[in-house]
């Protein structure tokens, strides 16, 4: 009899998980609290439902060839970078092509996920759900949590002195959908990530003035590379190899020089603050908006008054109407009991960012709780491909005693300052994909490929590291 798997959430991670369950002849049941699939990619005009959604003007920042499911390419007529509507259409096509929708129970909230009394022998879970006021309980052989990392806004108002004196409008980017309500206003955007840059650029078209505050600065990338190809397409195994073997100081110096040759970041108020870790955003229009005076870069906020903002560099901006915080999100697992609830929020101790270390049976997987310098969609697919094969017994992970010992040691080293907490850092896309696919035998062997098919090996090593590479060998490989 097929093992029953509960999948919590029908966003990108959930669709990946349902598909991978079916590939391994498992029996998935997906619980989605809203009335549609797609998660944050399903646009809504308002934020009244409390769900995190894309804003109307959003355009993807990873090109289509690098952000598709490995066995379901985008249609040829889709643009390289697309609006959220186009991306959601792709998810719909994927779900319909593989018949995933019939496994989703919409308007169903998961209330609790608890280990059964015989968990140490069976690895089974009790899952309690609620659908339009009616509760249900079911037993599952495994659980895949696909709720993502954008559940609730991170709004650290206590870190901003005087914010409670401010008389203007305060909101988090989660509430932002369209710019119309901000016409003619003086707006401060706090936080310079991809969202902060996008919102500042869009508002600059209709606002009286936009100020963009950053503590760290950032490197600004364009969607196109110097040769005109999408910039993600230069993400190759060859460059990844160089980054790993060359000294990091040389790599950083080379990259800094290259970025400043394209755009002198210091002149634009974007340079990385001293002592801060370099980060990157993708924005084609921000430099032009700064150049035209539509967006004014500011340092971090020092204090608020009733209508003004004082910045760390001593400057003050008066008559601010709106403050938009683009300060990220928090995630949680309210349906778990302690200590599992707390353990799952610590990304760095999850085994390969997927499996909690404290379970006697590896029947719980956290899918999509990752940050990558590449496509999250692709990451969720490979996490799910590996997790479902672990559930089926085709792959194994170390015993919980060993994983807990390693997790405890890691936490102690971080506390003592011996190693850095990298849980908030973006993982290297190629390295992480190789790590996951090696577990299932889907990582291509470059030396072997050079013997069998030198031309293909050349493309795999020196060409873009597309998801399709992981269908050359192993389970689910393409014929031919």
Query: What percentage of the chain carries pLDDT values higher than 70?
Result: 99
Q: Tokens in use for 397?
A: 């992970």
**40 HSE (CA, 13 A, CB side):** 22
Q: What is the pLDDT of residue 414?
A: 85
Q: What is the pLDDT of residue 2?
A: 67
Mean per-residue pLDDT for 387-401?
95
Q: pLDDT grade, residue 9 (50/70/90)?
A: very high
149-201 pLDDT, tens digit per residue, is: 888 899 999 999 999 999 999 999 999 999 999 999 999 999 999 999 999 99
Query: Has residue 49 got a pLDDT over 80?
Result: no
Q: What is the pLDDT of residue 1?
A: 55
Q: What is the pLDDT of residue 320?
A: 97
Query: What percentage of the chain carries pLDDT values higher than 90?
Result: 83
Give the residue carrying structure tokens 């409390």.
50
Q: What is the pLDDT of residue 291?
A: 95
**4 HSE (CA, 13 A, CB side):** 11
Q: Tokens in use for 340?
A: 């599992």
For residue 328, the SS3 value is coil
CA 72/CA 64 separation, integer angstroms: 11
156 in Cβ contact with 179 (< 8 Å): no
Q: Tokens in use for 152?
A: 């609730």
355-389 pLDDT, tens digit per residue, is: 999 999 999 999 999 999 999 999 999 999 999 99
Q: pLDDT grade, residue 312 (50/70/90)?
A: very high
Q: What is the pLDDT of residue 382?
A: 97
Give the residue carrying structure tokens 């606002």.
207
Q: What is the pLDDT of residue 421?
A: 80
CA 246/CA 248 separation, integer angstroms: 6
Q: pLDDT grade, residue 121 (50/70/90)?
A: very high
Mean per-residue pLDDT for 236-250?
93
Query: Has residue 142 got a pLDDT over 60?
Result: yes
Is the pLDDT higher at 187 or at 48?
A: 187
331-343 pLDDT, tens digit per residue, is: 889 999 999 998 8
CA 250 → CA 232, 242, 244, 246, 247, distances in Å? Answer: 22, 11, 11, 7, 5
Q: pLDDT grade, residue 272 (50/70/90)?
A: confident
Q: pLDDT grade, residue 298 (50/70/90)?
A: very high
Predicted TM-score of the model (pTM): 0.94
56 in Cβ contact with 456 (< 8 Å): no
- What mean pLDDT, rounded, does the chain reach? 93
Q: What are phi and psi of 257, to 5 degrees?
A: -65, -45
144 in Cβ contact with 135 (< 8 Å): no
For residue 116, the SS3 value is coil
26-37 pLDDT, tens digit per residue, is: 999 999 999 999
Query: Has residue 310 got a pLDDT over 70?
Result: yes
81-97 pLDDT, tens digit per residue, is: 999 999 999 999 999 99
Q: What is the pLDDT of residue 480?
A: 56
Q: What is the pLDDT of residue 416?
A: 85
Query: Has residue 48 got a pLDDT over 70?
Result: no
Query: Has residue 275 got a pLDDT over 80?
Result: no
């Amino acid at each position: 009899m097929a093992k029953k798997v509960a999948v919590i959430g029908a966003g990108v991670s959930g669709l990946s998980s349902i598909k991978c369950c079916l590939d391994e002849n498992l029996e998935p049941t997906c619980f989605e609290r809203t009335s549609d699939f797609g998660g944050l990619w399903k646009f809504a005009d308002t934020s009244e439902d409390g769900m995190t959604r894309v804003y109307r003007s959003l355009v993807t920042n990873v090109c289509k060839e690098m952000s598709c499911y490995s066995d379901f390419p985008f249609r040829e007529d889709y643009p390289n970078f697309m609006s959220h509507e186009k991306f959601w259409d792709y998810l719909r096509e994927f779900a319909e092509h593989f018949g995933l929708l019939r496994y989703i129970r919409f308007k169903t909230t998961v209330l609790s996920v608890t280990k059964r009394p015989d968990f140490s022998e069976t690895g089974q879970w009790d899952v309690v759900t609620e659908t339009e006021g009616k509760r249900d309980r079911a037993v599952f052989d495994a659980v895949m949590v696909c709720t993502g990392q954008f559940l609730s806004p991170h709004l650290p108002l206590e870190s901003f002195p005087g914010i409670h004196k401010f008389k203007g409008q305060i909101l988090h980017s989660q509430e932002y959908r369209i710019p119309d309500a901000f016409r003619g206003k003086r707006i401060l955007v706090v936080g310079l990530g991809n969202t902060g840059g996008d919102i500042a650029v869009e508002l600059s078209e209709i606002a009286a003035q936009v100020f963009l505050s950053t503590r760290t600065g950032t490197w600004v990338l364009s969607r196109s590379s110097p040769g005109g190809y999408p910039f993600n397409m230069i993400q190759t195994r060859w460059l990844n190899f160089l980054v790993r073997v060359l000294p990091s100081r040389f790599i950083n110096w080379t990259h800094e020089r290259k970025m400043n040759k394209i755009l002198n970041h210091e002149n634009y108020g974007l340079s990385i603050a001293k002592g801060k870790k370099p980060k990157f955003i993708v924005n084609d229009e921000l430099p032009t908006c700064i150049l035209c005076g539509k967006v004014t870069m500011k340092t971090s906020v020092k204090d608020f008054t009733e209508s003004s903002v004082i910045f760390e560099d001593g400057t003050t901006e008066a008559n601010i109407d709106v403050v938009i915080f683009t300060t990220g999100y928090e995630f949680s697992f309210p349906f778990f009991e302690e200590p599992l609830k707390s353990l799952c929020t610590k990304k760095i101790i999850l085994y390969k960012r997927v499996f909690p270390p404290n379970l006697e049976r590896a029947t719980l997987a956290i899918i999509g709780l990752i940050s990558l310098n590449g496509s999250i969609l692709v990451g969720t697919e490979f996490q799910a491909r590996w997790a479902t094969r672990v559930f089926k017994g085709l792959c194994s992970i170390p015993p919980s005693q060993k994983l807990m010992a390693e997790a405890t040691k890691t936490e102690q080293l971080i506390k003592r300052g011996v190693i850095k907490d990298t849980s908030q850092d973006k993982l290297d896309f190629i390295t992480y994909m190789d790590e996951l696919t090696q577990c299932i035998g889907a990582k291509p062997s470059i030396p072997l490929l050079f013997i069998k098919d030198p031309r293909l090996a050349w493309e795999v090593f020196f060409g873009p590291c597309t998801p399709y590479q992981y269908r050359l060998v192993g389970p689910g490989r393409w014929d031919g």
